[in-house]
Structure formats: C-alpha cells, structure tokens
Structure 1
C-alpha cells in the first residue's frame, strides 16, 4: 500500500527557488553549447564570418552615404522637393550605418583558447561565461559564476521519482574547475507509480516506465545543456527484494535506454545501480545538514541525526559525540564536507520499511494467531504478499488474508513488540552490551551518544504529521512531536477502528479520512511507535522533527547524492567539462 501523501502528490510538479535570482551562465557573452558535447570551435569561425559580413555592409552603406551626400550638395539647381528627399535619404542612411557599426563594435568574440580542438576544453568554454565584472561580484575577479544541472532518479519500492536540480557555483577562469560551494538555485520534482519492482519479468517495460519523468527533465533543462547534465538512477529497497538477477536485468535495460534514447550524460560505473543502504542514509544526512547549514566550515549548529522510513527499509545516520568511537567499520563512514571531517554512524535496516514491517507483522499473525490480528478492526481483512511477488496476481502468489479482531492498541502493541525489534542480548555481536540496537545490530545508544536534533522523514511524516494532529510547527518549516504523542495518536486511531463512534468523532477529519483510506493505520502507528521506543530506545519525552521540505527543498537522500556527484565529476582534470557526455 502507498503512503497517504504519495497518493496525493502523484504526478505533481514542485519547484523551489531561493531568495536570490537564478544565475544564468549563458547570458551576456557566453558561448552556445552543442547538446551532444561536441567541440565549440565552430563558434569562432561563425563570429569571424559575421564580422566579415558586417564589414561588407558598412563599406556598401558608406559608399551609398557619400553618394547621397554628394548628390545633395553638388546640384544647386535641384528643386526643393528633390533636396528634401535627399536629406531624408541621408538621415536614413546615417541611422542604418550607425546601427551596423554599433553591431560590429559589440559583436561577441569568444575568449581565446590554445586547445580548442579538444572536446574537454570546448566543453569547458561552453560551461564558462566570459569575464564580466557585473556578474562576477560573488565569485571574485579570478572566477566566474556558472550553473550546473544534475538529474537524480529515486527508484523506490512504491514508485519512481526524479529530481532536476540546478546549482549555482563559481568556476576558476584559468583552470576551469569548480570552486565548490554549490548553491541550490532551483528544483523540479516529479513522481510516478508503481515502482520498478512491479516489472520483475519485463525489464524493458520497467525502463520505459521512467520515460514520463525523463521527458519532464528534457523540457526543464536547456537544450544546449543536455549533454553536460549528468543523470544517475538509484534503486532502493524495493529492487533489492526481487533478487539480484531480476534487478540487474532491469538496471541494464534502463542504462541502454538512457544511452540510446536520451541525450543526458549517463554516469558510468554505479550511476545506474541498486544503492547500498548505507549510502542512502549518508546522502540523506548530507541533504538535511546542508539545508540546515549544520555542516562545513561555516556550520552554525550541531549536525542533526536523520531517520528515513521508506517502504522496504529504514536508515539512521548520526554524528556521535566526540567521546564516542564507532568501533565497527561496517557502520562507520568518514567524509569531508566544506573543509571539515566527519565520522558518522550509519545503518540501513533492510526489511524494516513500513510496508515490509507491516508484512512481518501479518506473517507473524499467520503463524501464531491463526491469521487473526488485533491491529485491524473487526471484519477488516488484509492480504499478505511475500517479497518477490510484486506484479504477480494475488491468487498466483498464494496470499493469505489476515482478519481483524477489534482488540485495540494495547494488544496490537504487545504483538508488534513481541515479534519485531528483537532485543535479545544473545543476538548482539558487539562486545559492549550498550552498543546493540535490535536484531543484534551494532549501534551506540542514541540517548547517551547523541544530543542534537533528530529529523524523521518519509513515512514518519506521512503517518504522523500528515494526519493534521501535530500543533508544534507547520507544513513549510516542519513539525515537532514526541514519542508520547505517537502513542496517544495510535491509541485513539486503534480505538476508533474498533467501532467506537465517539472516539472516531473526536478525531480530526483528516484522521478519519486517513483511516478510511488506510485500514492498516493502527498497525502502522504501532510499528512506528515501537521502532522509536523499543528499537531505538528513545524516551517518551524525546522530541523529533519531521518535514517534507526544509527551506522549501525536498528532504531525503537525492539532494545529497546530487551534490556529491556534481562535486566529484567537476573536481577532475577536465574541470567543469567533466560533467559532459563524451
């Protein structure tokens, strides 16, 4: 089942512009650029031809001017009508000559380049505006402002989404390398359903499902920049769950279609891939802290922790206190951002996304409760579909229906905590007993190793903030909530689905509509509550923040991945031309 907000926002377009006007590096005397990354040398020849043409016109008009001028002064016997006509002609010719001369004087000549025959240098010229003191005020005298587009496709378990990012940055006038400090200037967001995992036996159909997103990107990015716009497709938990062979076939089909049908620069290597869960979390951490101005040399606050609850997995990333050492290398990520080093704890709990978590509970009900579950209302049924059965009919998948028993949150809570988030110390592989989360996964305890803000995203927002019951915050800046508030909401919802009319009427209309749309809402809230309280061992009073956007920008891993991609591609020997299709 899909999230409430995803249903509402399907096929929607969202844009974001910061308070500063967009910087266009192709204004002024910048060069045009070929959409296939070809040499820009022909522009110089074109400009020279224009100069020759304008020069010829000037000569012809000058002769005409002298002729008209001469005829008007040498024939004293001309009639007044003829004299007036000559003067008018003279004025017209003078104006034309003035305009042509002005055009010749201001004709645009590209900056000289001793290696214009190489593609990389031609691309560098295309991406670099010529020096102009008016537009260079923010970059200094030795650098020029430029724009860079990056396309990032998030192929999730419930749908595919594309982010078209436009960044402003400064480019060194000599080396043609970016000076970093990418500033997000604009964003386009589009999404479709279902996800790639819905086509496990038809890779080409899976690849073509992205066409609507890619066509939106083509319409957004200027034609002359298509070849210098990198694109990456990162699949997450949903594609991992259909198996390596099927997922690899889908990814191969996507790469082939992108490289043969679309003009963008498809990132080589792991550009089209199933993203490692740890990378997903780390990129999300970069996104959030970049937007909060909490990382880099100019950071003004402590870095925030992030929790991202998807459909198939959940990630957590945070920077422990300096006194805490992340001892297990598989959970430790070191990175440099803005001249500052960071050591992070990260982990992706595969199978603990909201949809997979729901499936775990339902499967436990099959084996232990004779296919009955207290988390569902009386008479409510919910089928169980095993991983890998996406796209297969219910009958073929051999689904079993779970029937609700109308027992409320208390019983639902006991069942969820008793079958998920196993805290058995015997499962812990770490030597220290206080560094184990659930299912034996190593993690320093949050309550003792981290005291900054915690941002919870995706289904955390959809199932809590999107219900309209939180009072601290707003949709633009995000909401705050405590673990106790999640429990209170869960109790009220579970009571209402049990048929308590007064309990239902006491809930906001947004919650009532959500209950009608999502019969598993009581179960979902129970799952979220125990992930935070039992799994992460957060106190009931711990405050979390949740948002879909920060400063008008979509949260999640995509922005962090785009920043990392653009920075790495422009930092090589080719400079800014490193983003161009070869």
Structure 2
C-alpha cells in the first residue's frame, strides 16, 4: 500500500531536518577549527640596520613554547638594496623607502591572517651610533622616516631604535649557542633537553663600525658593566660581553689611512697595507667625516689625496698596532685593549660577519693553525697589485682591503682579545650554522618570544575541541533520534 500524502510530507520534512542538521554540524566544526585550532606557527620580523647595509630576517616558531621561550627558526633573509640607513643623513626619507622591497617580501611570506599578530622591530647598530654622536638631529630624522614606513605596514611594528653595543654582542651569543643546540635540543626520545654545562661557545662579531666579543667565562665577571644576564628555556645565563665602537672593518680602514697621513698638507701617502703597484686618488675630506678619526683635519679639505701601495705587511702590522691601546686596567684585573676589562678566554668561539668574509676570501676557514694563517696573509700582502687583480676578476670593490683586513683580524684576535697559538684552534670562522645566519637578530627574537604571551598548549586545545565537538554531535544526533522516534510513532502507531 502506498504512502499517504501526509506521510510523504513528513518524510520530506524529516529528510530536510537531517540534512540541515548535518550541514550545520559541518559548518560549526569548520568554524571550530578556525577558532580553537589557530595556526600553530608565529612569525617575527627583525631589521638589522648595520653601518654598511640593512638586512631583514623573518623568524618563525611554534605556538607552544618550551619552558617559556619559543623554538625559533629562520624563514627568510633579505638584504636591502643600497647602503646602511646612516648613509641617508642628507635624505632621511630615502632611508625609510629603501626598506619597502624586503618588507614586501616578508609580508608575502607570512599568511595575511597573521599579519596583525606578527611583531616587527628595527635595530640600528654602530653606524647609527656614530651618526648620533656626530649629528643627533640627523639620526632622529632617519629614525622618524623609518618609523613612518614600517608603522604603516599591517604587522605589529614595535619600534626602531638604537641597539646598545652590549646587546648586540649578547644577542649574537644567544644566536650562535641556540643554532648549535647548546641552549636546548630535541632528543631521540622525543623530548626537549638542555645540553650539559660547559658546552657553550663564545661569539666574535666584526661589523663595519664595531666589533663584539661575548662568552661565558670560567670564573666570575669582576666588572658588572660588561655582564649580561638572560633567562632562556628555564635556565639563567651570565655572559661577558663588550662592543668596541670604531674597531669595525670600515672604521678601522679609515683610521688606518688617516694615521698614515704624515702632515695636514700631505698630498701623497705610501700605504704599506695596499699591494705594490696600487694607486688611487680620493678627496681628503672623506677621511675626516667619521667621529672615529681623531687626527686633526687639515684646513684645506678640498684637495685630493693620492695613495700608493707598498705591499709591506710588517709595516702594515706596525700601523695597525697604533690603533690599539693595551694599557692595563689594574683596578679590575685583566684587560683586552682600549683599557677595557676582559676575563680570561674560555671555551670554543665562533667568528662571523667580517671575520668570516675576510678569512673565507683568504681560504682560512678550515681550522688552519695560527702560523699558517699568518703566513697566508703575509704572502697575499706581498703579491703585486697586477697579479692580485688578474687572480680575482670581478672582485675589485673589496680587493685592495683584504690585506689590511686579514692583518687586522690577526692583530685583533691575538694582541687585542688574547688568543694564542694554543687557543687559536678554538676559533671557527662561520657565516651560518644549521642554515641560519649568525648575528644578533635571532638572539633578539629568541629573547623577545619570552615576552610574548603563550597560547594555550596544543594538548589543551585538542581536548577542548574534542569535548566541544562531541557536544555538538550529541545535540545533532539527539535531534535526529527524536525525529526518528516521531516517524515510527507516526507510521506505526501502537494500539
């Protein structure tokens, strides 16, 4: 017997109710995923505004932090076109505009839904420190221009500021120890563990305007002004760190040349650190633009200076030594140079930035002995300019300076920081470790993540989601059951 029209209408209503219930369940579950299971990765952007160039780094880390600190990895490295922002003193607007290209790359990488929650920071180092000393209003104009551009982006811009030299060294120390797995690492048993004490390494950084050293000494740090403390992954660290302004690569070269000018009226300089046969002419005024050059400027700065290379490494080392002041600091004990306290060197060290770039060019990044490094640099310095040019085509921009830089690094590390023939093998010259650039930016981001509020742990989110979803399923099934029972009663009424 066929169904009556009432029964057909009821079945249609029942089918519609079930379909609507299932559709609602699917839509609600999708919404639950969006609300209760947010993206499990956070991002952060750091601009490293150095003296010679600016770089942008994007870092990412899981929402669930380990002992209060994010486990961070590098997602993008972008070098900004043009010089460092301190070079835009006469055109500060361009300092901000120069950052747009790399900023757009970063925004394209980070999911749009996470832009507002992504912190961004710009740290300016020694180049802007020098400009601030020379002309504070120009430095302020550059920071204002940079802030206008970055604050207009959709991310959480947290400011552009001058990074203290001590912070630059300390954050570099955090970076290298993190990427080497010496602060925390993932074990084969599936747990995060802290490596044994005594395995931490020191950091040696050589920028364009400053150089930094940072390490955990074997004894107490007697001068607290050189001490930085951190709390990372549930542990406390006390690090010796110091930054030497005016001892970076570019400023060293300027100071070196200025020191070779015999008199204010000199128009010719014979440079022992340049290869024999090299000759160039430059405006005399350019030598005295930096606050790092303490020599008295001649009255007539409009004249040009001719520089001729002599290729004499012995005389070059003597000129470089004049840049250092190694008078002892008896009141606090040990001294490195420039009357600065330094405890005895301890452990392994990683040397990066211009330490690495110079020694990589000289093929000295394979743990060669100090004697081999000395002999290699000296032999290179003695080569005539024509032979050097022919041997390294396409590298003319920096070629003339590798002799001076190589000898400067040897002098800085041995006579400045105190490395010896015995401790020299403890230095590794590296640009990266574990696919991550070594510098202060990652260390800064690691420290910053300790200040970002933790999200709910994944386990809690999963449990909450399961309970919530189970409740929704229960309600929908109850609705279907009630409608089904009504259908049975309707079709097969009991006597």
When the two structures are superposed, what TM-score results if normalisation uses the length of structure 1? Answer: 0.65
Q: Say if 2:176 is the partner of 1:288.
A: yes
Displacement after TM superposition at 1:415 (Å): 1.9
Change (3 A) 1:552 1:400: same
**Retained in 1: the 8 A contact 2:359–2:365?**
no
Q: Distance in 1 between matches of 2:336 and 2:67?
A: 41
Equivalent residue runs for 1:510-529 within 5 Å: 514=395, 517-529=398-410
Q: Distance in 1 between matches of 2:250 and 2:336?
A: 21
Equivalent residue runs for 1:394-433 within 5 Å: 398=302, 401=305, 403-417=307-321, 419-425=322-328, 428=329, 430-433=330-333
Q: Say if 2:217 is the partner of 1:309.
A: no
Displacement after TM superposition at 1:367 (Å): 3.4
Displacement after TM superposition at 1:354 (Å): 0.5
Change (3 A) 1:208 1:108: same
Q: Say if 2:453 is the partner of 1:570.
A: yes
Q: Which residue is equivalent to 1:329?
A: 224
Q: Distance in 2 between matches of 1:303 and 1:397?
A: 50
| Structural RMSD (CA) | 3.4
How many aligned positions are there?
Answer: 421
Q: Distance in 1 between matches of 2:75 and 2:301?
A: 40
**Retained in 2: the 8 A contact 1:170–1:179?**
no
**Retained in 2: the 8 A contact 1:311–1:356?**
yes
Q: Please say which of residues 403-412 and 453-462 is displaced more in the overlay.
A: 403-412
**Retained in 1: the 8 A contact 2:278–2:385?**
no
Equivalent residue runs for 1:505-544 within 5 Å: 514=395, 517-541=398-422, 542-543=424-425, 544=427
Q: Which residue is equivalent to 2:146?
A: 254
Q: Distance in 2 between matches of 1:399 and 1:455?
A: 43
SS of 1:308's equivalent in the other structure is strand
Q: Say if 2:326 is the partner of 1:443.
A: no
Q: Please say which of residues 562-571 and 303-312 is displaced more in the overlay.
A: 562-571
Change (3 A) 1:186 1:280: closer
**Retained in 1: the 8 A contact 2:69–2:232?**
no
Q: Which residue is equivalent to 1:359?
A: 254
Change (3 A) 1:436 1:127: farther
**Retained in 1: the 8 A contact 2:63–2:454?**
no
SS of 2:28's equivalent in the other structure is coil
Displacement after TM superposition at 1:562 (Å): 0.9
Instruction: Give the one of 225, 233, 246 matched to 2:114.
Output: 225
Q: Deviations over 1:37-74 (max 9, x none)?
A: xxxxxxxxxxxxxxxxxxxxxxxxxx9x957999xxxx
Displacement after TM superposition at 1:272 (Å): 1.1
Displacement after TM superposition at 1:343 (Å): 1.4
**Retained in 2: the 8 A contact 1:169–1:180?**
no
Instruction: Give the one of 100, 103, 109 matched to 1:214.
Output: 103
Q: Say if 2:351 is the partner of 1:456.
A: yes
Q: Distance in 1 between matches of 2:281 and 2:122?
A: 33
Change (3 A) 1:327 1:399: farther
SS of 1:341's equivalent in the other structure is strand
Q: Say if 2:191 is the partner of 1:299.
A: no
Q: Say if 2:293 is the partner of 1:385.
A: no
Displacement after TM superposition at 1:569 (Å): 2.7
Q: Distance in 2 between matches of 1:307 and 1:284?
A: 8
Change (3 A) 1:533 1:373: same
Q: Deviations over 1:490-531 (max 9, x none)?
A: 1121111356x5xx69x9x5x676567521211111111111
Displacement after TM superposition at 1:311 (Å): 0.3
Change (3 A) 1:111 1:241: same
Q: Which residue is equivalent to 1:580?
A: none
Q: Distance in 1 between matches of 2:320 and 2:361?
A: 23
**Retained in 1: the 8 A contact 2:69–2:450?**
no
Displacement after TM superposition at 1:179 (Å): 5.6
Instruction: Give the one of 110, 119, 123 matched to 1:234.
Output: 123
Q: Say if 2:376 is the partner of 1:493.
A: no
| Alignment gaps of 5+ in structure 2 | 185-192, 292-299, 457-495
Q: Deviations over 1:361-391 (max 9, x none)?
A: 11101137962211112342364533459xx
Q: Distance in 2 between matches of 1:316 and 1:153?
A: 21
Q: Which residue is equivalent to 1:319?
A: 216
Equivalent residue runs for 1:70-149 within 5 Å: 102-109=22-29, 129=37, 146-149=40-43
SS of 1:234's equivalent in the other structure is strand
Q: Say if 2:279 is the partner of 1:373.
A: no
Instruction: Give the one of 72, 77, 87 matched to 1:189.
Output: 77
Q: Which residue is equivalent to 1:555?
A: 438
Change (3 A) 1:570 1:266: same
When the two structures are superposed, what TM-score results if normalisation uses the length of structure 2? Answer: 0.76
Q: Distance in 2 between matches of 1:219 and 1:148?
A: 15
Q: Please say which of residues 563-572 and 203-212 is displaced more in the overlay.
A: 563-572
Q: Distance in 2 between matches of 1:466 and 1:127?
A: 52
Displacement after TM superposition at 1:104 (Å): 3.0
Q: Distance in 1 between matches of 2:141 and 2:451?
A: 28
**Retained in 2: the 8 A contact 1:385–1:397?**
no
Q: Distance in 2 between matches of 1:540 and 1:440?
A: 24
**Retained in 2: the 8 A contact 1:128–1:146?**
no
Q: Deviations over 1:399-434 (max 9, x none)?
A: 7535234242122122212x1222233xx3x4155x
